[in-house]
């Protein structure tokens, strides 16, 4: 926390009292109920988790340079990919956009003073931290080797690692998602400023709303699943292992009932971010606004009935396979609608290429590939060959990194001036965006080929025929790592040395750009009245 906020304590010169300099001291942060400060607490926490998870990925990619494994014993390698998965899924990608940007922006974007339940908001951060500490503690004291998917009976009765402790950490963190989701739903329903009707809301709000619905409805299911896993592991109650009377596939049904919608918890908020970036840097209202908004809700609904596509090769009945395949194709359509509408937004726009826009363009390209390669896996016949291979790994990294992480980085850059009152160095940011794009493709594109060649995922050692592709992938990871590291440095640098941003450095629309940077604690000194979101062609909204 201290690194991200220390410099900002000086206060930006052009504004008076704001949420950063209104009070000082560690207590004023740890006991804050200001949604903006809580957003920053999350920013620091998830950035730390990203570094830990990223470090695990670096070690894995180094290890896989040689077929027999360059660094680790298989047992240790298994713990590393498990740690990477658990941290990146539960402690980074799920909370990243909603808990940082969502917390900071949702009340401001709808013209509210704070979220509906500010104390609950702080509680969810503490819940997150407790879950994170338990999980990190378990990892440090020996780790867990089940994969982030925790499939029993391996996880319940066979693994010798700290399954229970990590499961408890994930279980607790789930409540943070539920509380945040609940808070956002109520906030969006009840706290909108006069004139902010549903179809005037920024698309980021629509995306956050759909995400919150999934989090509130889905997360309890994974919590129950983890409890059942704990019952079998600790008390040997037969639930999943047939040796004690259980059903080994029951867990997978329950786990994916949450974890597939969770994929959309991870990608919908970044989609919302991209909508905001594209509209701001092309100075156009998003093309097909209501189609983009409704496609978020459609995704949220359909995502709950596609879980069986993770189980096409488990011996699930042919008919179940057919139904889940159809439904999985259906969930692809709303994503396609978004892509086309974003592209059409650029038409006859006034487009500039600052770093956030570069990230948004990267998102469109990479998410298109991520989505289309999903068709290979929704299609039953090809899924049989590709399931469980590196093709899957490549596919979900195109969506989760090429999509979610890249949009998150774009969003952080876009709202950085608002959050801190300072500009980041644009040239460095463009260079980093380019490095991330190139490094990402070099890392993960070879993994599609690897998967089609038949290399299974989660292999600590592998046959020599896959080495060339693995080396390419590891080389790309080093570029990607540099691309991630540069923003970390210049963003921290900008806290002290960045140019003052002014209220609206991008000439963007939206309530957040009408107030000072950093915003005052109460957000709006006079309650806003909203007439039109994305009013780029109309008058007003001066560019500073």
Partner 1 sequence: MGLIQSGFNCMGVAWATIPFQPPAASSIAEGIDKLYLFLTGITLFFTVLVFSIVFYFMVKYRRREEHERPAETRTYLALELTWTIVPSLICVVIFVWSASLYVQNSRPPAASMEMFVIGKQWMWHIQHPEGPREINALHVPVGVPVKLTMTSQDVIHDFYIPAFRVKKDALPGRYTSLWFQATQTGTFHFFCAQYCGTSHSEMIGWVYVMSPSDYAAWLAAGEKTDSMAQQGARLFDHLGCGSCHVAEGNGRGPSLAGVYGKPEKLQSGETRVVDEGLIRQAIMVPNSVQLPNYAPIMPTYQGQVNEEQVLQLVAYVKSLGSQERKNGK
Q: Segment 301-360, which members bind partner 1 (CB under 8 A)?
A: 313-315, 318, 321-322, 325-326, 329-330, 332-333, 336-337, 339-341, 343-344, 346-353
User: Which of 10/73 has CB closer to partner 1?
Assistant: 73
User: At closest approach, how far in Å is the CB of 75 from partner 1?
Assistant: 5
User: Which of 124/474 has CB closer to partner 1?
Assistant: 474
Residue 186 burial (C-beta neighbours within 10 Å; 0-12, 13-18, 19+): middle
User: At closest approach, how far in Å is the CB of 78 from partner 1?
Assistant: 7
In the three-class reduction of DSSP (H, G, I as helix; E, B as strand; rest coil), residue 394 is classed as helix
User: At closest approach, how far in Å is the CB of 193 from partner 1?
Assistant: 23
Among 177, 282, 494, 523, binds partner 1 (CB under 8 A): 282
Binders in 373-402 for partner 1, by CB under 8 A: 373, 375-376, 378-382, 384-385, 387-389
Question: Which one of 86-94, 95-103, 142-150, 193-201 is the stretch in contact with partner 1 (CB under 8 A)?
Answer: 142-150
Residue 208 burial (C-beta neighbours within 10 Å; 0-12, 13-18, 19+): buried
Cα separation, 203 vs 364, whole angstroms: 16
Among 462, 490, 506, 513, binds partner 1 (CB under 8 A): 462
Tokens 């459609």 belong to 298
Q: Does 250 bind partner 1 (CB under 8 A)?
A: no
444, two tokens: 């993960």
Q: Does residue 455 contact residue 398 with C-beta atoms inside 8 Å? A: no
Q: Does 452 bind partner 1 (CB under 8 A)?
A: yes
Binders in 31-60 for partner 1, by CB under 8 A: none
- Helix axes of 406-420 and 355-378: crossing angle, nearest 10 degrees: 150
User: At closest approach, how far in Å is the CB of 428 from partner 1?
Assistant: 21
Residue of 391, 335, 393 lying closest to 364 (CA atoms) = 335
CB neighbour list of residue 542: distance below 8 Å, 6 or more residues apart:
504
Q: Does 372 bind partner 1 (CB under 8 A)?
A: yes
Residue of 359, 346, 212, 220 lying closest to 288 (CA atoms) = 346
Q: Does 502 bind partner 1 (CB under 8 A)?
A: no
Q: Does 537 bind partner 1 (CB under 8 A)?
A: yes
Cα separation, 409 vs 359, whole angstroms: 7
Residue of 164, 72, 88, 109 lying closest to 414 (CA atoms) = 109
Cα separation, 341 vs 449, whole angstroms: 30
Among 142, 195, 242, 527, binds partner 1 (CB under 8 A): 242
Q: Does 238 bind partner 1 (CB under 8 A)?
A: no
Binders in 79-138 for partner 1, by CB under 8 A: none
Cα separation, 304 vs 427, whole angstroms: 42
Number of residues that bind partner 1 (CB under 8 A): 103
User: Which of 17/375 has CB closer to partner 1?
Assistant: 375
Q: Does 147 bind partner 1 (CB under 8 A)?
A: yes
Q: Does 428 bind partner 1 (CB under 8 A)?
A: no
């Amino acid at each position: 926390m201290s690194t991200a906020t220390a410099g900002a304590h000086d206060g930006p010169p052009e504004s008076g009292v704001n949420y950063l300099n209104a009070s000082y001291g560690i207590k004023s942060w740890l006991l804050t109920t200001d949604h903006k400060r809580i957003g920053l607490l999350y920013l620091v926490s998830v950035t730390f988790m990203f570094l830990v998870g990223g470090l695990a990925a670096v070690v894995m990619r180094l290890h896989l340079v040689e077929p027999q494994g360059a660094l680790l014993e298989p047992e240790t390698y298994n713990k590393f990919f498990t740690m990477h998965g658990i941290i990146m899924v539960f402690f980074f990608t799920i909370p990243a956009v909603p808990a940082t940007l969502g917390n900071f922006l949702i009340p401001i974007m709808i013209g509210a003073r704070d979220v509906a339940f500010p104390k609950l908001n702080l509680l969810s951060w503490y819940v997150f931290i407790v879950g994170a500490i338990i999980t990190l503690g378990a990892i440090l004291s020996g780790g867990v080797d089940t994969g982030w998917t925790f499939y029993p009976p391996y996880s319940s009765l066979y693994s010798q690692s700290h399954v229970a402790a990590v499961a408890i950490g994930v279980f607790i963190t789930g409540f943070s998602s539920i509380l945040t989701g609940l808070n956002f739903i109520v906030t969006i329903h009840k706290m909108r400023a006069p004139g902010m009707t549903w179809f005037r809301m920024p698309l980021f709000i629509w995306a956050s709303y759909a995400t919150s619905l999934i989090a509130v409805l889905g997360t309890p299911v994974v919590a129950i699943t983890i409890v059942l896993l704990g019952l079998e592991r600790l008390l040997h109650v037969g639930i999943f292992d047939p040796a004690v009377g259980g059903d080994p596939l029951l867990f997978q049904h329950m786990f994916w009932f949450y974890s597939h919608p969770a994929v959309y918890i991870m990608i919908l908020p970044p989609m919302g971010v991209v909508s905001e970036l594209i509209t701001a840097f092309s100075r156009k209202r998003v093309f097909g606004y209501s189609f983009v908004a409704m496609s978020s809700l459609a995704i949220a609904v359909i995502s709950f009935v596609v879980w069986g596509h993770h189980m096409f090769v488990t011996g699930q009945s042919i008919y179940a396979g057919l139904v889940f395949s159809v439904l999985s194709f259906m969930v692809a359509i709303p994503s396609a609608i978004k892509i086309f509408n974003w592209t059409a937004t650029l038409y006859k726009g006034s487009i500039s290429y600052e770093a956030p826009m570069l990230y948004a363009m990267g998102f469109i390209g990479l998410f298109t590939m991520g989505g289309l390669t999903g068709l290979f896996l929704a299609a039953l016949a090809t899924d049989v060959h590709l399931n469980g291979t590196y093709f899957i790994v490549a596919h979900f990294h195109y969506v989760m990194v090429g999509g979610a992480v890249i949009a998150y980085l774009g969003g952080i850059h876009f709202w950085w001036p608002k959050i801190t009152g300072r500009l980041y160095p644009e040239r460095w940011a463009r260079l980093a965006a380019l490095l991330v794009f190139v490094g990402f493709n070099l890392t993960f594109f070879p993994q599609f080929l690897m998967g089609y060649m038949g290399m299974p995922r989660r292999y600590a050692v592998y046959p020599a025929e896959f080495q060339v592709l693995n080396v390419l992938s590891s080389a790309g990871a080093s570029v990607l790592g540099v691309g991630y590291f540069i923003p970390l440095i210049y963003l921290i640098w900008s806290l002290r040395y960045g140019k003052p941003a002014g209220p609206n450095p991008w000439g963007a629309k939206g309530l957040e750009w009408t107030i000072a940077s950093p915003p005052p604690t109460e957000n709006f000194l006079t309650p806003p009245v909203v007439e039109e979101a994305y009013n780029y062609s109309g008058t007003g909204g001066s560019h500073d």
